[in-house]
Structure formats: structure tokens, C-alpha cells
Amino acid sequence: MTAMTPVFPGSVDAAGQRATLGVLGGGQLGRMFVHAAQRLGYFTAVLEPDVHSPAGQVSHHHIQTGYDDPAGLAQLAHLCQAITTEFENVPAQALQTLALTRPVAPSAAVVGIAQDRVAEKAHFAACADLSGVTCAPYAVIETLAQRQAVQAERAELLPGILKTARMGYDGKGQVRVKTAEELAAAWAELGGVACVLEKMLPLTAECSVLVARGWDGQVVSFAPQRNVHVEGILAVTHAYAGNMPPTLAERAQAAAVAIAQHLGYVGVLCVEFFVVDDGSTHGGLIVNEMAPRPHNSGHYTMDACDASQFDLQVHTMAGLPLPQPRQHSPAIMLNLLGDVWFDASGQLQEPDWRSVLSLPGTHLHLYGKLEARAGRKMGHLTITGPDVASVKTVARRAAGLLGLPGLDDI
């Protein structure tokens, strides 16, 4: 890892090069990072093969090439003083290559852990004493012998959820299984790849915590947000005092910080938790997974806080001091999938933005994607207000106007 020297906004080095921050990936998280960096005065560079990518559209430099292209990586390193990633499935080798000459946050090693559920769960188990929480009971299935052993010796894991070890997100690569026969069929359906079988627990809620940790070990974090998922995709985020029991919220926040510290993490990290009611000794909190980047559930911070998750991402990678973020307004975030752009008969339609944006406290963020598709994240709508009751009232009206799911959970 190249040593970190703070990169100050608007600075120019001896060769006349302006302070530039780079990001691997051109999706909406990269776009919002670029906006945050530019607002501070940085130039930005995006490496992304898609010519129409959301981040590439707004960056000073768009290197249109694959994530593992040596020439593209060399160009990114030449342009930038520090580099990050906007999603965890970028090749870890690309981050290793960049780290030979530039500070990279988060590191390739940490991203590699987040890419693999087997390694991720091993990390959670290793730091359970420090974090005070553990993950759901599970077994690794990488071979036929392991699958047969689980069926014969770990019957307590059923019913469970079989998840691919790699490349699973938004509910993809997951199959619910109730019996040994269903487990065998599901593993075959997933291609016999490395998987994790997790015991299905009595879930009462889901929450996530955003942590920012600097190169010097300084850590700040946001209060937990409560999340509602529909078909494995985030639909609603509740971000306000009282969104979950205070003691549980404090435990989740402390656990997320401990997990980041145990990793020696640098950057913005999101840790997702399950809240369960099974009478066990873990106090109802189970760590589910982590994302080594800003997260969909933290988008409300752009409108409800004095420093957003993307502001903190810029601060961490550039070596700037980390301000403790302060939330000034209660907020609810509604995820906008491509389904909103289609009517009941499947015909393309324009959402009723006039009515939605006439509601008080609405903040619309569209990601610049040129084609709406069912299940595709096209944007989000954050509602802020003077109190929780008024925010909920407006959020229900907005969700109704847009035909969004999750109305019963607002």
C-alpha cells in the first residue's frame, strides 16, 4: 500500500496537476461520489467500460475500458492522487495494481473479503468477541461431500437460505430451502458453485449502519437506519430517532465500528444486521453482510445530514479530517426502480413528478440511466420534515402516487 499524504481540495502539484480523485465503477454510487468530490473542489476520474455510465457522464475524466485493463489502470493512476471503488465486485487484482503507486481505499484485501461470503462470515466470527454480535448459524458448501455432510449432520440449519459465495446482491443467487432434497436441488440449480447455507431465523426487522474510518484510524458513524426490502431489493429506509429500540441501535452502531476497526478498514463501510426474536443470547441482533462502499440505505444522508456518506467517502480517501455527521431532519428514503416507469399493462409511462414534487420536503435523485427496466435502480426519493409524523404522511402520499411497494411499512 502506498503511503497516504493528504490530498487537499483545489491543490495543484509541482507538475501543475490538479488534485484528482479516482473511482473504479461508473454506477450511481460513483456518480454521487463524483458530485461530492467536485463540490469540494476536486477533479475526478472514472474508469468504467460503459460509455453512458451515470458517473462517467459527470466526471472530468472518463476512462472507457475494462476494470482489469492495464493501460486503463495506468491512466487512472497517472491522473489521480487517490482511488476508491463504487462497488465490491471490481477485480481485487485491479485494486492491488493501483495500490502499487497510489493510495487505494478500501484495500484489495478488504474488498476481497466482502466479495466472498465464506471469508466474510469467517471475519464476522473472528471479531464476534470485539463486536458483540455474530452471524446466523451457517455451513460452507463447496463440494458434494460437504453438501452431503450438511444434510446428514446439520439438520438444524433447515429451513435455511442457500447463498452463492460470490456475486450475490439484491436477492440474487439465493434460494430458500426447507428440506435436504430441496437443498440438493437448489445447489444444482445454482451450478454447484461455492455456497453458504444459513439457518433461517425469525426476522423482525433489518437495519444497517454506515461507518467512515480514516487512514489514521479516526472513526465516525451514522445512527442505524431501519430498512424494508421487497423481493430482496431495498424499498424503504427509515432514518430518524426511534426507528428502532435505542439499546439495539446503540449495539448495532458499536458493532459496525468494531467490525471496521478489526478490518483496519479505510473508507465508508456499510454493515447490515438482522433483528430477530428467537430467545437466544445474542440479544436479537445478527450481522448479515457488509458492503465496502456507500450504500443504498444511506442515500438519505445527502438531504437529512450536514455531511453525507459520500462527503465522508471523499474525506477518508483524501486523508482529510472526519467530521462527526449530524442529522438535522427525520427522513424516509424511497427506492425508485424501473417498474415506476411502466403502467399496469406494461406500457412505458412518465412518473407523475409534478404531483410528487409538489409535496413538501421531497428530494428527487435520478441517476442518469437512459433505459428503465423492471428491478433496475433508477433513483431515489428522500422525504424530510420537521417531525416523524409529517415525514411519514408525505412518504405515504409519494409512494401511493408512484405505485411503490412497502406502503404498509411506512
Taking the domain 203-405, which CATH number applies? 3.30.470.20
Between CA 260 and CA 219 the distance in angstroms is: 9
> Which cell is 342 given?
411502466
**Residue type at 257?**
V
Is 174 a known ligand-binding residue? yes
- The contacts found for 387-392 with CB under 8 angstroms, 24 or more apart, are 387/330, 388/240, 388/241, 388/242, 388/330, 390/360, 390/361, 391/240, 391/329, 391/330, 391/331, 391/332, 391/361, 392/332
Cell 481485487 sits on residue:
92
Is 89 a known ligand-binding residue? no
Instruction: Please report, in tens digits, the pLDDT of each residue of the chain (410 residues total).
Output: 676 899 999 898 877 889 999 999 999 999 999 999 999 999 999 999 999 999 999 999 999 999 999 999 999 999 999 999 999 889 999 999 999 999 999 999 999 999 999 999 999 999 998 888 989 999 999 999 999 888 888 989 999 999 999 876 656 788 999 999 999 999 999 999 999 999 999 889 999 999 999 999 999 999 999 999 998 899 999 999 999 999 999 999 999 999 999 999 999 999 999 999 865 545 689 999 999 999 999 999 999 999 999 999 999 999 999 999 999 999 999 999 999 999 988 899 999 999 999 999 999 999 999 999 999 999 999 999 999 999 999 999 999 999 997 777 88
Is 189 a known ligand-binding residue? no
Is 173 a known ligand-binding residue? yes
What was the pLDDT predicted at 397? 96
Is 171 a known ligand-binding residue? yes
User: What torsion do the CA atoms of 138, 144, 146, 149 make, to the nearest 10 degrees?
Assistant: 100
Is 251 a known ligand-binding residue? no
Is 379 a known ligand-binding residue? no
Could you give the maximum distance between any two Cα atoms of the chain, in Å? 67
Burial level of 191, CB count in 10 A (0-12/13-18/19+)?
exposed
Is 240 a known ligand-binding residue? no
Contact status, residue 187 vs residue 272, Cβ threshold 8 Å? no
> Closest Cα to residue 98, out of 15, 192, 1?
1
Is 232 a known ligand-binding residue? no
> Which cell is 157 given?
440449519
**Residue type at 132?**
G
Between CA 95 and CA 97 the distance in angstroms is: 5
What was the pLDDT predicted at 408? 79
DSSP-derived letter for residue 17 is P
Is 392 a known ligand-binding residue? no
Residue 230, H or E segment? strand 225-230
Q: How distant, in Å, are the alpha carbons of 18, 40, 223, 319 from that of 7?
A: 10, 12, 28, 6
Taking the domain 137-199, which CATH number applies? 3.30.1490.20
What was the pLDDT predicted at 232? 84
What was the pLDDT predicted at 21? 98
Contact status, residue 102 vs residue 80, Cβ threshold 8 Å? yes
The CATH topology of domain 20-104 is Rossmann fold (3.40.50)
Would you call 358 helix, strand, or coil by DSSP? coil
Contact status, residue 83 vs residue 60, Cβ threshold 8 Å? no
**Residue type at 190?**
L
Cell 486523508 sits on residue:
319
Fold identical between 20-104 and 137-199? Answer: no
> Closest Cα to residue 73, out of 43, 30, 102?
102
Sequence-distant (≥ 6) Cβ neighbours of residue 288 within 8 angstroms: 135, 136, 206, 272, 273, 274
Is 201 a known ligand-binding residue? yes
Between CA 90 and CA 79 the distance in angstroms is: 19
Is 250 a known ligand-binding residue? no
Is 320 a known ligand-binding residue? no
Burial 232-242 (b: 16+ CB within 10 A, else e): ebbbbbbbbee
Q: Where are the domains of the chain?
A: 20-104, 137-199, 203-405
pTM exceeding the 0.85 threshold for the entire prediction:
yes
What was the pLDDT predicted at 167? 74
